[in-house]
Amino acid sequence: MDAETGSRALHAANDLVEVLRLAQGAVERVAQEVHGAPFERADQLAQDMQRLRRLAERLRTEIEGFVSREESAAAGRGHPLRRASDHHSPLS
């Protein structure tokens, strides 16, 4: 994984956490405004959203660790996009 790919993965994970935070807030507001069956459904959805948000936050943490390890490994190997097969002989 190169730095650009890692950056995209982290941004995507952050976006996911933010979207779920907004969705959780919206469904909690809905639950405050309704009663009966709609409240029950909104309350259950709020709990589900909270669970998904926690999972997304764990995923983000795992991605951060993965990217950090990949960057460290790439620094030890040299340029992250280089492979042994990429070495070309100089032109004469």
Q: What confidence tens digit (pLDDT) does each residue in 4-50 have?
A: 888 899 999 999 999 999 999 999 999 999 999 999 999 999 999 99
Any idea which residue has 């259950």 for tokens?
44
Please say if the pLDDT value at position 84 is more than 60: no
**What does the block give as tokens for 55?**
């999972």
Model confidence, pTM: 0.72
- Do residues 49 and 27 lie in contact, with contact meaning Cβ atoms separated by under 8 Å? yes
3-state DSSP helix/strand/coil % of the chain, to nearest 5: 80, 0, 20
Residue 82 CB-half CA count within 13 A = 10
